[in-house]
Amino acid sequence: MPEMQAIQSIDHLVFAGFQQRFQQVFGCKKCLIINSNDKTKILERVFGEGKTLEYPYAYFVIQSMGANAETYNTHAMARRGMVVNVDSEGTLQTVRMVPTNFVMEVTYVTNKFESVEQGSVLAFVRRWLLARRVGYLKFSVNYGRLQFGIGNTMDESVTIPQRENITENETSYNVTASITVHGYTSEPVLGRQGKVTQVRQNTAVANAGTVVSSQYFEFPQQS
């Protein structure tokens, strides 16, 4: 049995693309996915132990993953796989994948409640509502020779924390909302299948079975 070749699963690219896009849209210093109870320790590791946290930043908690039944041709993508590369002149590399919904809780942390520019609670809410309406958080990922569009469904409302009284100590505000990212997950192994390069068409006389003509159709090789 031939050895299976490993490949990075596409969901890793979906997570990385979402973090990058969110950081661009909302002007965050850092964006990261945290699925741990000890969020403080992870944040210290990201910003540097002993260093002051830079605002604003955001983190995401993956709450669930489920099949996206509203997309197209899911059975073929999971059973036969998608062609992601040409291994040789006669072989194609395939990956089995499933359209997937990633439900995530978004926490945006800032030390400002109100401001004209990005970086405050109210500025984040304004930007969130615009992003939901216009589609600012949509992006695409390149996987092999293919490109996949990644959409999302954002909450209509955002939970706003209460404004604190002015004190000598710095106050931070946590703004929370939910988003469902419509992406993909895949097996981290490559499959192989034969590449059709030539088709032969025979023409026969009805009820006789005699071939009266034969044609070959050859597909041009692609690099």
Selected residue with higher pLDDT from 132 and 221: 132
Strands 146-154 and 139-143: antiparallel
What pLDDT was estimated at residue 49?
Answer: 75
Q: Within a domain: residue 202?
A: no
In a domain, 83, yes or no: yes
What's the pLDDT score for residue 53? 83
**pLDDT above 60 for 1:** no
pLDDT tens digit sequence for 57-99:
999 999 999 989 887 666 666 666 566 665 555 567 778 888 9
Predicted confidence at residue 16, as pLDDT, reads 96
Asked, for residue 160, whether it belongs to a domain, the answer is yes
Domain annotation covers residue 215? no
Which pLDDT score is estimated for 88?
53
* Alpha carbon 124 to chain centroid, angstroms: 22
> Does 14 map to a domain?
yes
Q: How many domains does the chain have?
A: 1
Per-residue three-class SS string for the chain: CCCCEECCCHHHHHHHHHHHHHHHHHCCCCEEECCCCCHHHHHHHHHCCCCCCCCCEEEEEEEEEEECCCCCCHHHHHHCCEEEEEEECCEEEEECEEEEEEEEEEEEEECCCCCCCCCCHHHHHHHHHHHHHHCCCCEEEEECCEEEEEEEEECCCCECCCCCCCCCCCCCEEEEEEEEEEEEEECCEEEEEECCCEEEEEEECCCCCCEEEEEEEECCCCC
Structure tokens at 211: 């071939």
| Angstrom distance (rounded) from CA 98 to CA 71 | 10
Sign for the CA dihedral angle at 183, 93, 199, 76 comes to negative
Whether residue 222 is contained in a domain is answered as: no
Q: What is the pLDDT of residues 27-66, one digit of tens each?
A: 999 999 998 777 777 887 888 777 788 899 999 999 999 9
- Distance of alpha carbon 221 from alpha carbon 205, whole angstroms: 33
Mean pLDDT, the chain, as a whole number?
Answer: 80
pLDDT band (50, 70, 90) for residue 168: low
Domain of 62 in residue numbering reads as 5-195
Give me the pLDDT at residue 223, please.
46
Mean pLDDT to the nearest integer, 189-212? 53
**198 compared with 145, residue with greater pLDDT:** 145
Q: Give the whole-angstrom CA distance, residue 170 versus residue 155.
A: 29
Span 136-154, pLDDT tens digits: 999 999 988 888 899 999 9
User: How far is the first Cα of the chain from the last one, in angstroms, to the nearest whole number?
Assistant: 28
Residue 216 lies in a domain: no
Residue 110 lies in a domain: yes
What is the arithmetic mean of pLDDT over 169-182? 90
Predicted confidence band of residue 215 (pLDDT cuts 50, 70, 90): low
Rounded to whole angstroms, the Cα distance separating 43 from 18 reads 18
Which of 39-48, 110-119, 204-213 has the lowest average pLDDT? 204-213
Residue 187: band (very low, low, confident or very high) from pLDDT cuts 50, 70, 90: confident
Are the beta carbons of 93 and 125 closer than 8 angstroms? no
Q: How far apart are CA 116 and CA 113, in angstroms?
A: 11
Comparison of pLDDT for 51 and 125, the residue scoring more: 125
Chain-centre distance for alpha carbon 186: 11
